[in-house]
Structure 1
Amino acid sequence: MTDSRRAAPPALRPALVFGAITAAVWLLTTTAYALVAGLGLPVPMGAVGLVFPGTIPGWLASSAGPWPVLGVVVSTLAAGALAFALAPLVLSAAGPQRRGLLVLALWFVVLLAAALAGGLMVLGGIAAYWPPLRLLDLVTPVAPAVATATYWGLLWGWIPAVLAAKAWGNAAAAPEGGRARWLRPLPAVLFGVLLVAAFPLAQAANRAEAPEPPVAEPLPEPVVYGSPEVSMAVEDGAPESPNPSGEPWCTGGDTAVVLGGGDAATGHRAQELRITNTGDADCLLARYPDIAFDDEGGSAMSVLVFRGGTFMTDDPGLEPLTLPPGGSARALLGWNAMAAAGDVRAGAVLVAPYAGTGREKLSLVLDIVNGGAVAVTAWHADGA
């Protein structure tokens, strides 16, 4: 076989030069952008992008190795192969004798090749993040990626156009064989497929290197601080006080408290409390009831409890009352209706015969909220 047969066809050699120069310029400018970004120089990357357009998506450029390098290499090969495949399009419009028109035509080819390379990177990004969360995610990255690549072709495409126009010579006049015409797009197809595939492969590498998400530990059960079982205040003269009276007071251990009937009028409320002596001996009710409230979640409430009557309750005043075994007495709670919409309401009332002895917790839901005020009457005999 002679050397002329082994050599590339006359029309193929300048196209190869054109594709190679396009790839070289793409490689140099993309590498320059990556170096400036990687070195962390105090330069706005937006200004750098005006000179060296960031044709490679940022997340690919910062992916796990070796994909930042491979992404640049594959995109370089794809851009050069696309320019090589599209070069014959200009031969019918511009001959080598019309140098100026040929340069413009080749420059347009670079623009087109760069735009196609940007579109391939968009496809790769879609494949990497498939399926999309929204259909809009399929088209959102198209404009910036293609626009950046096209801007690169506008800014730098004149270099391969000028250099390739010099190498074209009279090659445009030589027809290209049928087989060569069909084989010319193969490198562009091959490198285009590799460019699209690089994105999901890089994303898979990123996921493989990502640290395992921390295992969420179960939150501890919330601590509920309800009202104390015994008031911190102690009535003067009670058995628990520093100066007990010596009388047999009715304590929380030898009485039982239950809820009596309730009553309501427009804007006013009342609730009866009944206490019974469950001991074996007489005991003395010598003070007002000790009252506290817990909300529906069991937490202590801030409710002002004062002694006296209301619109619906009458306080007979403090009068010592002796309860025989099995004997009962009663007291009344009274309050004005409170706006409870959106607030935590009372879910229990805690009652003791007096402050300083054990309280009994009685569950009921009342329209009493934090910051409210409730009146309590003295213990008095049934019917009083």
Structure 2
Amino acid sequence: MDRRLWVGLAGALLLVTGCGTESAVGGIPERTPPPSEHSVPTPRPTPTPPPRTCPSTGASISVGQVDAALGHRAVVIKLTNCHSGVLTVNGYPDVTLLDAKRRPMKVTVTHGLSYMAIDPGPTKLRLRKGESALAAVSWSNTVEAGEDKAAGTYLSIARSTRDKPVVWPVDTDIGTTAKITLTAWCLTFPT
């Protein structure tokens, strides 16, 4: 078949089939109606962080943004002494992963090194008023074939198991790993 004839047939076929969301009814183009406001999904409300307060323990906890790298994720927990006395911090934070209904999820919590953070190991820290300690919570978004993915919505965090936790909204897409890793409290992260 002649090349010019082939190009002409392909062009004609493209014109006949057309594209877009218009159709001709009785020779008049008709647009597809936009979806009604009732069919537009409403966005899920974003959980809000707890208000900044100074609890009776003097350990005010806040959580940073999720950092991501190659399927790995981490957040930094910051504990600040908001009382006038010295606050002692030692070991690892107490962290529980919660679902959207704030129920604890079944995950393994380990202490140590992760792809996102180096664990300095437990050290006794004495924080004066306004001083802070840091810890990291890390996880991987690994998905194994045939297994259900999991994601948490909140982290329940306390200085230690003896303190009352605060609940922070943190999307944790833990895939199928069912594992989070914690570093110990430190003044600065090792490099």
Shorter-chain-normalised TM-score: which range?
0.5 to 0.7
Confirm whether residue 272 of structure 1 aligns to residue 85 of structure 2. no
Shift of 1:269: 1.4
Q: Decide whether the 8 Å contact of 1:268 with 1:335 is kept in 2.
A: yes
Match of 2:45 in 1: none
Determine if contact 2:109/2:181 at 8 Å carries over to the other structure.
Answer: yes
Structure 1 residues 344 and 298: CA distance shift in structure 2, 3 A: farther
Cα shift at 1:318? 0.9
Note the 1:122-133 alignment, pairs <5 A: none
Q: Describe the shift of the 1:360–1:306 C-alpha distance in structure 2 as closer, same or farther (beyond 3 A).
A: same
RCO comparison, higher one (Cα < 8 Å, 6+): 2
**Deviations, residues 105-162 of structure 1 (Å, cap 9, x unaligned):** xxxxxxxxxxxxxxxxxxxxxxxxxxxxxxxxxxxxxxxxxxxxxxxxxxxxxxxxxx
1:309 aligns with one of 98, 113, 118: 113
Q: Which residue of 2 aligns with 1:373?
A: 179
Question: For the structure 1 residues 324 and 311, does the alpha-carbon distance in structure 2 shift closer, same or farther, using more than 3 Å as the test?
Answer: same
2:170 to 355, 361, 364: 364
CA distance in 1, matches of 2:65, 2:161: 24
Seen in structure 2, the aligned counterparts of structure 1 residues 359 and 252 have a Cα distance that, compared at 3 Å, is farther
Asked if 2 retains the 8 angstrom alpha-carbon contact of 1:252 and 1:353, the reply is no
Give yes or no for contact 1:284–1:320 (8 Å, CA) kept in 2. yes
Counterpart of 2:181, as a letter, is: A
TM-score, normalised to structure 2, is: 0.63
More helix as a share of residues? 1
Structure possessing the higher radius of gyration over alpha carbons: 1
Letter in 2 for 1:277: N
TM-score normalised over the length of structure 1:
0.33
Give a deviation string over 1:151-190, Cα, whole Å, max 9, x none: xxxxxxxxxxxxxxxxxxxxxxxxxxxxxxxxxxxxxxxx
Distance 1:342 1:311 in 2: 23
Which of 136, 139, 152 is matched with 1:335 structurally?
A: 139
8 Å CA contact 1:303–1:369 kept in 2: the answer is no
Q: Which amino acid aligns with 1:334?
A: S
Higher mean C-alpha displacement, 258-267 vs 278-287: 258-267
Cα contact 2:150–2:175 (8 A) shared by 1:
yes
- Are the aligned partners of 2:66 and 2:170 in contact in 1 as well (CA < 8 Å)? no
Closer/same/farther in 2, CA of residues 271 and 379 from structure 1, 3 Å limit: same
| SS at 2:172 equivalent | strand
Q: In structure 2, how many angstroms separate the alpha carbons of the residues matched to 1:324 and 1:277?
A: 7
- Seen in structure 2, the aligned counterparts of structure 1 residues 325 and 362 have a Cα distance that, compared at 3 Å, is same
Measured after TM superposition, the shift of residue 306 of structure 1 is 0.8
Give the equivalent residue in structure 1 for 2:158: 352
Unmatched segments (≥5 aa) in structure 1 = 1-250
Counterpart residue identity of residue 124, structure 2: P
Structural mapping, 1:165-184, within 5 Å: none
Q: Work out the number of aligned pairs and report it.
A: 134
Deviations 1:36-55 (A, max 9, x none): xxxxxxxxxxxxxxxxxxxx
Contact 2:94 2:160 in 1 (8 A): yes
SS at match of 2:57: helix
Q: Secondary structure at the match of 1:257?
A: strand
Q: Give the aligned partner of residue 289 of structure 1.
A: 93
Partner of 1:382: 188
Quote the offset at 1:356 in angstroms.
Answer: 2.2
1:259 equivalent in structure 2: 63
- Cα drift, residue 338 of structure 1: 3.5
Amino acid at match of 2:87: C
Counterpart Cα distance in 2 of 1:381 and 1:301: 29
The equivalent residue for 1:31 is none
Q: SS in structure 1 opposite 2:101?
A: coil
CA distance in 2, matches of 1:286, 1:364: 24
Matches of residues 98-113 of structure 1 in structure 2 within 5 Å?
A: none
Instruction: Map residues 43-62 of structure 1 onto 2, 5 A cutoff.
Output: none
> Which consecutive unaligned segments of at least 5 residues does structure 2 have?
1-54
> 1:365 is aligned with what amino acid?
D
Cα distance change, pair 272–252 in 1 and its aligned pair in 2 (3 A):
farther
RMSD of aligned alpha carbons: 2.4
Measured in 2, the distance between the counterparts of 1:268 and 1:306 equals 15
